[in-house]
Structure 1
Amino acid sequence: MKKIFIFLFSVFPFSLSAQAPNAAYVKALYLKYPTQKSDLCPACKLWVNPYYKSIADTQQHTPLITYYVYTKAHRLEQESADVPRTGIYAGWHPAFGQPDETPVYREANRIIAKPNSPEMIAKGHCQAWILLAWCVDGAILSDTYTFNAGMEFQGQNVGTEIATEELCRKLTGYKGDAVTDSVKIWCGTYGKLQTYTKNGLTVTVPSHYYKVIAYHDQQSGNQVFVTYWMPNDPTEKKNKLKERMITYPELVAKIGFDPQQIFN
């Protein structure tokens, strides 16, 4: 019976029309995608799943680079699937073999003592939940500590960060005409503002998020390449996104590696 379940799990991932996945399903899902060593940094590990790729510093617990190709088809599937951002579809988990960071986030916000404010620490996605929630597994795996999230101030989370997510949706035709069929997204974190510790686990608050968006503009016929360098600051707003644009060579100089040479 166990072998039959594993076979069915691998061939038929959960859909919303089926019974909602449970904790055992989520555990089995993560077991399918083990991490492996990366030489990007001494504590770096590579994590690859069918939805996005990531290299994270497992000592600092920060994603250094993630990569995802978001498509118009994904957007349409996400709108059709309408995965709820509640319960198991919105629960955070560590990759297999990694620690659970939930107590550290709670400790950080206990110290900050400003719930539901721009100063609170959010679980800041690199590759956004809404862009990955075109199927249940994508939604679940988007909420992965270390490999797709950093400690992000809520002001930044709903500021320039969410502005980049909305841009990607808009480019594929959300509430308007599509500019492109697909968007390549590189995203990561950089630097250290401070750290928080609980139960012997220390997690870094990065100083910046970066995002690179590349796509073929079907209207002009041009290849478009945009780079953002976003301070992890509670005062960030959506309307500051244009101010956060830098050149790609400037980004490479800041972070010390070329994202396109790692994932493409």
Structure 2
Amino acid sequence: MLKLKQYSITFFIAVGLVGIWVYITSFTSWVNPVIFPPVSKIIDAFVKGFPDLLKGFVSSMGLLVPAIFLSLVLGIGGGLFFGLHQKSREILSPFFHTFSPLPPTLFIPYAIALLPTFKLASIFILFIGAFWPIFLGTIQGIALIDNHYWDNTKTLGIKGKDFIFKVVLPASAPYILSGTGTALILSFIVLMMAEMFGAQSGMGHFVQYYTDFSQYDYVLAGIIFNSIIILAIIVAFEKIKKRILFWMNLKSE
């Protein structure tokens, strides 16, 4: 009931914002009608541009999915190694802290120069952006595992795959998933930037294409579509995260 009430308030806020937009664009001369078109024109642009928006979505996912997959595999795998090997972590941690804050876009010149296609260059840039939050989140999760977990592991003689999959990964899962959430958000930011300034297709390209022609009804239709897609993916991830961390919900209850 509390969640229903919360979302009902959110719904009324959204309706109120749309109402304000309708009033300002249709009944006043406060704003430029080209840059701020009425809702009817935005809806019309959304309907007409929907096939291109879907094609853009498929193109964008063709970049995002491989990058996130590689980030998860190498980020969690590398995080496990350095999380479990303290000496190696201490030796290389200055490099981790030096390179992880660098914006992925700084590597665009090298990605374009060294990789044969824009698609591979984009996947590489997205991978860099998504890798560090997952990698560092995994290391942090392992470093913060309570000592009694390690003591129980030694007492029970748990080793090998059982040690990794039944002890280390479950115990560090909150930090790994938190890093994955950050990686997703950062990846969308980088994806939109890459597609707006170098791609021939994609959700970001759709917005940039119509910006060049000052067709802001299509620009806003693209922004709304992108917002819906990103929100749906983030909500789906949060549901998966909650299911994986079900034991934390039981503990809080």
- State the TM bucket, normalised to the shorter chain: under 0.3
Greater relative contact order (CA < 8 Å, ≥ 6 in sequence) = 2
Larger radius of gyration: 2
Q: What TM-score, normalized by structure 1, do the two folds share? A: 0.25
